[in-house]
Structures are given as structure tokens and as C-alpha cells.
Structure 1
Amino acid sequence: METLQLTKEMSNRIVSEIMNVPDAYLVLDAVQKALDEEQKRRLKFYNDITGEQKVEFINGEIIVHSPAQKQHGRIFFRLGHLLDIYVNREGLGLVGGEKYMVALTRNDYEPDLCYFRKEKADKMTDKQVLFPAPDFIVEILSPSTAARDRGVKFRDYQAHRIEEYWIVDPESHTVEQYHLFGDEYQLILKSAVGDIKSFVIDGFQIPIVAIFDDAENLKAIQNL
């Protein structure tokens, strides 16, 4: 809530400053030209990317990610397996992995995990490569991504009304669960113990430890 308030205050201040200068139209024209140039770079980005790298387009910049650490990869597979088994069994929609490129208004992200409700998933084609805003996203922190996961991505996911956002921390073995209320994310849970229950994926509830431990993960699969 504090992050959103600061963003609104900053936006209002920028608008106020622009409106107080006599050449406001010229300023807006310059901004539009810059956005048009950025869009050209974005289209080139779409043409140049390959499936070998994890890359994102954020505020005009191409971000190439480093190879994932072992603990990051294990968390991805544990949680992804739980999500995929449950969603497929219940016929609830589609779970996507880190190579699903989510195209928002300005930026393109490859979340670690994402989920689309059935009504949205049913409109997708088998050869689709750009995806709309999911209903649920998981990002697994790493030293190189933590600032973006908590910063620009948090704000962008919130602005595009992605209803639920989990941030998984491999170092502290904690999960932060955010749920959208109105226009703002609210922190529902930050814990390394107990269960976590999704607001978006009906009936999906797992022990947090199952995200970080192989034996507990197998137990959770059996109990789904």
C-alpha cells in the first residue's frame, strides 16, 4: 500500500510539474516520441529473442538473466509440479513456466511461474508465444532479480491487476503472499511455516516447507 501511494504521489508531482510549464505540449510530444522509439526496440526484441535464454524487456531495456542456481531450480520444479498436478487434475486452467513471456502494456516478463484461469487459458493457441496478464504469478528471488521482483515487477503486476503474487525467498525459506484489494496489493502472509492457500487457484493449499524440501514435496503431492 505504501509503494502504491508513493507511485501515485510521484505521478501527481510529475503531472503538476509538466502542467506548470508553458511548453507542456512539447514535453508530452517528446515523451511520446521516446515511447515510439522504445516500441521499435520492443518489436526488434521480439524478432531477436530465442528460446535459449531467459530475457525480459523492462522500461526499454533488454534484461538477460544469469543461469539459475541449484536451489532456485529445485524450488521452481517443486512448486511448479504441485501447481501443475493440481490445476490439471481439477481442470482449472493453465500453469506456465519461466519461458512463458507475459506481454503487459509496456514491458515483457518471463515470470518463474504463472497461472491463467480456464476462461483465459481456453482462448490461447498451441503456438502462442506472447501471453496476457496471468491471474497468479510466482517469482523466486535471486541476488540479481530481487530488486526488480520487489520493485518494477511488483508495481507493474499490481497496475495490471494480476490478482495474486507470491515472492519466494530461497535463502530464508519464506513465501510472501500478496493479494489484490482494489488497486493495491496487500501482504497476506510472510512465513516459513504452516500452510499457504491460494486466493486465485480454488482449493490449492500446501505446506510452505513443501516448496523447499524434496521429502515434504512428495508428501504434499500425495496429499493434494
Structure 2
Amino acid sequence: MEIPNLPQLIEQAQRALREESRKRNEFYAWLKEDVKAEFINGHVVMQSPVKERHWTAVGNIHSLLRAYVIKNKLGRVASEKALITLKRNDYEPDVCFWKQEKAAQFTAEQMKFPAPDLVVEVLSKGTARTDRGIKFTDYAANGIAEYWIVNPGKRFVEQYTLDAQTGEYALVGTVIGSDELTAQQVAGFRVPVLSLFDEAANMQALSTILSN
């Protein structure tokens, strides 16, 4: 507040945001169902192909969460192609979950979705900086209550929850090896962390979910 040129800086920021909003609307008009892209701070970011261990982990996480959520009627789970529209940016997380009160509002033709209750990002060489940087900050700023950062190479999960007082993420723990991962936002969801990376362990965990 002590900067003499504060009004000019505010005006510049407002002009920049108006231009960014114009580009964002162009992004929405251009985006098609067969394109994987995100809109981050005024720029369209295309998503590159990923390694086998990445899509294996994404598929394993999605299958477990989706089966559990559907069975228990807790909401909706999406993988990779669901565009979440936050205050400034648009992302396509690897996996995300909305509780029933939000999911009940979705329509069959909807392409833009509100902030989820849980977001999962699986690290790759090309996305790690963004997943740990701007997405980490932006997801918290938009009230996404739980965030998992999954490392498929080293087979561990960093689990974060939103601190209501600071508005920032706090690390619940790093889950690895024979540990179990317990979701904070998906009531009762608990699986061996190995089931996120190993397909045999995944099938066993999936069988447990379906039989309980």
C-alpha cells in the first residue's frame, strides 16, 4: 500500500487479466473432446504422451476409487479428460473425485467441472514441476480439500490436506511400501499403496472393495 504507483500497477494487472479472460474463452471454443490440454496463467499447455508406469498408476487409482465410490454412492470419479475450471486456470487432473452434493449437479453434456474434493496427480518428468508448483498452490487456493502427488517410479504417495486456518496444504504423510493409503475426503476408502502401482495387488484390492 506504500508504493506510489500502486494505481498504475492495479490498472496494468486488470488489463492483463481482461486479455487473459479473452484467451481463456478462445481456449474453450477451441478445446475438443479428443484434445488433452490445460489453460494455465494465460497459456494453453498441451499434454505429452506418458510412460507405461504413469498410465498404469492412473488406471489403477481410477479403477479403485471409481469402484468404491460407485458401490457406496459417494459421488463421481473422473480420469484425465475431465476439465476442472478454477477461478483463473483450467486443469485436467489425472484423477479427481467430487462428493455427491457436487456430482448431483452434473449433466450429460457438461464439459467444464467445479473444483473437486480430491485431486490426484501422477508425476512424470514433464509435469513434476507444475504438479508441485502452480497446481499445488492453485488447488489449495481454490479449496480442493485433498491432494495426492503420486510417484510411480519410486512407488510412493504424498498425501496433503487443506489447512482451514492457513489455506495451504499440510502433509499428512508419505505412504510407501506395505503401508495403506486412507483417503480423507472419500469416506472409508483405504487401500494398500502397492495396489496403486502393481496390477496383481490392484486386482486383489479391487476384489476386496467389491466383496465388502
The TM-score range, normalised by the shorter chain, is: over 0.9
Deviation at 1:135, TM superposition (A): 0.3
Deviation at 1:52, TM superposition (A): 2.1
1:172-187 matches, within 5 Å, as: 172-182=154-164, 183-187=167-171
Aligned residue for 1:11?
none
Deviation at 1:104, TM superposition (A): 0.3
Aligned residue for 1:171?
153
Deviation at 1:76, TM superposition (A): 0.9
2:29 maps to 1:47 = yes
Quick one: distance in 2 between partners of 1:34 and 1:164?
Answer: 31
In the alignment of these two chains, the number of paired residues is 206
**CA offsets, 1:73-131, max 9 Å, x none?**
11111110000000000000000111100000000000000000000000111111000
> Counterpart of 1:53 in 2: which secondary structure?
coil
Higher helix share: 1
**Which amino acid is the alignment partner of residue 126 of structure 2?**
S
2:183 maps to 1:201 = no
Consecutive aligned runs of 4 or more in structure 1 exceeding 3 Å deviation: none
Quick one: distance in 2 between partners of 1:82 and 1:195?
Answer: 13
Deviation at 1:222, TM superposition (A): 1.2
Bigger mean CA offset, 187-196 vs 168-177: 187-196
> Counterpart of 1:39 in 2: which secondary structure?
helix
Aligned residue for 1:217?
202
**Which amino acid is the alignment partner of residue 134 of structure 2?**
V
1:98-137 matches, within 5 Å, as: 98-137=80-119
Gaps of 5+ in 1: 1-18
**Which amino acid is the alignment partner of residue 158 of structure 2?**
E
1:80 to 58, 62, 71: 62
Gaps of 5+ in 2: none
